[in-house]
């Protein structure tokens, strides 16, 4: 930082790394430049949670569970869409014990022969049998966590770090911690269109004091931009920049989220907001083809600074191409005053050509899998924060 401010600056930093196709959030923090006491106690607690929750956020349990469900179960089952070849699985975790479901998944045919409930189901389905699926324990946990989440159907804001171990069974994030306290009532007044900013800028703090309806319009654009001097890269972006547009609103707000995918895009995309629980943190509701848009709504129950990213397969590729950013749910009492706030995110990039090899450089999947980054950059290009652009 060049200038010595009278009051500290607030810097939002996120560092991320790829681990195969999995997102690992190495670190994110709101850091005040000079005094740690500038971090609110509630934030300190939140940072703690995130610190201990790093393993829990390195996979997206809902997106993975959905992927397994779509691939292996959807031909015969729905969640809430009525029976198909097999029964509707909505609310199945309330109807059957975890132990019974384990036995069923291990051997549906044997259960149809020997287990009283199994016999009853088989009779109800007139002898049509479910073939054994051969899922690992972990895959099974993921798919049932997804079914449980999809059964509840609602998307709610909460840190994913509380109890969201993907192998822990149950519904990740069901314990939303402060959620009951976090609901500050229904939205009041006219809807507010959120102002989004490009890095390194952060939107002004929200001025409304009552819970509001906030509309977020975010557009995905695939853009070829300089990554280094004489080197170009086709970035996939949220809002035209890497990191993506900064989103800010207040705890208690009801957010109507619109994801638009520009007609020139070549790929479908979605958005997974780590501020949101429910299927894929919104990813399940926001899969959007080029030229289309999608919409979902959630209520912000827990304040905090969260990462968001695209969760379209292969996830690692979408993230490595620049599809991540920060969403800030401001606490109701606001943050302590500072002179300036900045938005800085570190990202790693993998190009076929070697470091600073000129021309348009394609993405290199193998280097990404090996985490052999060609560039590790702040704010998406070499020198993004140097010279004239220094903070």
Instruction: State the binding partner of 143 from Cu ion, ligand HEC, none, CB within 5 to 8 A by kind.
Output: ligand HEC
Instruction: State the binding partner of 121 from ligand HEC, Cu ion, none, CB within 5 to 8 A by kind.
Output: ligand HEC
Q: Beta-carbon neighbour count of residue 101 at 10 Å? A: 17
Instruction: State the binding partner of 30 from Cu ion, ligand HEC, none, CB within 5 to 8 A by kind.
Output: none
For ligand HEC, give the closer residue by CB, 86 or 240. 86
For ligand HEC, give the closer residue by CB, 85 or 360. 85
Round to whole Å and give the CA distance between 157 and 177: 10
Residues 293-332 binding Cu ion (CB under 5 A) are 310, 312, 318, 323
For ligand HEC, give the closer residue by CB, 84 or 209. 84
How many Cα atoms are found within 13 Å in the side-chain-facing hemisphere of 65? 28
Instruction: State the binding partner of 310 from Cu ion, ligand HEC, none, CB within 5 to 8 A by kind.
Output: Cu ion
Q: Beta-carbon neighbour count of residue 353 at 10 Å? A: 14
Instruction: State the binding partner of 318 from ligand HEC, Cu ion, none, CB within 5 to 8 A by kind.
Output: Cu ion
Taking the complex as a whole, the smallest distance from the CB of residue 170 to ligand HEC amounts, in Å, to 16
Quick one: residue 142, left, alpha or beta (phi over 0 = left, psi -120 to 50 = alpha)? Answer: alpha
Residues that bind ligand HEC (CB under 6 A): 72-73, 75-77, 85-87, 89, 92, 96, 101, 104, 108, 112, 121-122, 125, 128-131, 133, 135, 143
CB-based contact 199:379 (threshold 8 Å):
yes
Q: What DSSP assignment string belongs to 349-376?
A: E-BSSPTT--EE--B-HHHHHTT--SEE
Round to whole Å and give the CA distance between 234 and 230: 14
Instruction: State the binding partner of 130 from ligand HEC, Cu ion, none, CB within 5 to 8 A by kind.
Output: ligand HEC
For ligand HEC, give the closer residue by CB, 36 or 127. 127
Q: Which helix (H) or strand (E) is 68 found in, with range?
A: helix 61-72
Residue nearest to Cu ion (CB): 310
Taking the complex as a whole, the smallest distance from the CB of residue 353 to ligand HEC amounts, in Å, to 42
Angle, CA 373 vertex, CA 372 and CA 378 arms, to 5°:
155
Round to whole Å and give the CA distance between 337 and 348: 32
For Cu ion, give the closer residue by CB, 259 or 275. 259
């Amino acid at each position: 930082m060049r200038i010595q401010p009278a009051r500290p600056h607030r810097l939002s930093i996120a560092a991320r790394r790829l681990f195969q196709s999995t997102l690992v959030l190495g670190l994110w923090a709101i850091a005040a430049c000079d005094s740690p006491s500038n971090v609110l106690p509630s934030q300190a607690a939140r940072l703690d949670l995130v610190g201990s929750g790093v393993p829990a956020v390195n996979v997206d349990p809902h997106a993975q569970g959905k992927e397994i469900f779509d691939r292996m179960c959807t031909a015969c089952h729905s969640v809430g869409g009525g029976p198909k070849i097999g029964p509707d699985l909505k609310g199945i975790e309330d109807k059957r014990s975890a132990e019974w479901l384990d036995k069923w998944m291990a051997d549906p045919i044997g259960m149809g022969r020997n287990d009283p409930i199994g016999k009853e189901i088989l009779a109800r389905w007139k002898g049509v049998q479910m073939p054994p699926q051969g899922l690992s324990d972990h895959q099974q946990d993921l798919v049932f966590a997804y079914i449980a989440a999809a059964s509840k159907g609602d998307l709610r804001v909460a840190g994913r770090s509380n109890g969201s171990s993907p192998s822990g069974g149950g519904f990740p994030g069901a314990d939303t911690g402060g959620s009951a306290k976090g609901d500050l009532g229904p939205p009041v007044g006219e809807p507010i269109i959120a102002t989004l900013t490009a890095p390194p800028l952060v939107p002004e703090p929200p001025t409304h004091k009552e819970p509001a309806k906030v509309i977020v319009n975010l557009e995905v654009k695939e853009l070829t931009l300089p990554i280094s001097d004489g080197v170009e890269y086709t970035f996939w972006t949220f809002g035209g920049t890497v990191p993506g547009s900064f989103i800010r609103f207040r705890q208690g707000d009801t957010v109507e989220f619109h994801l638009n995918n520009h007609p020139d895009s070549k790929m479908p995309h979605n958005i997974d907001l780590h501020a949101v629980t429910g299927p894929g943190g919104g990813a399940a509701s926001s899969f959007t083809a080029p030229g289309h848009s999608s919409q979902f709504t959630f209520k912000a129950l827990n304040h905090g600074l969260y990462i968001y990213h695209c969760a379209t397969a292969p996830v690692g590729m979408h993230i490595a191409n620049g599809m991540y950013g920060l969403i800030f749910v401001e606490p109701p009492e606001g943050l302590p005053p500072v002179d300036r706030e900045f938005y800085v995110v570190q990202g790693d990039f993998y190009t076929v050509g070697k470091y600073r090899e000129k021309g348009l450089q394609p993405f290199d999947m193998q280097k990404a899998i090996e985490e052999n980054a060609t560039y590790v950059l702040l704010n998406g290009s070499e020198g993004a924060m140097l010279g004239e652009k220094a903070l």
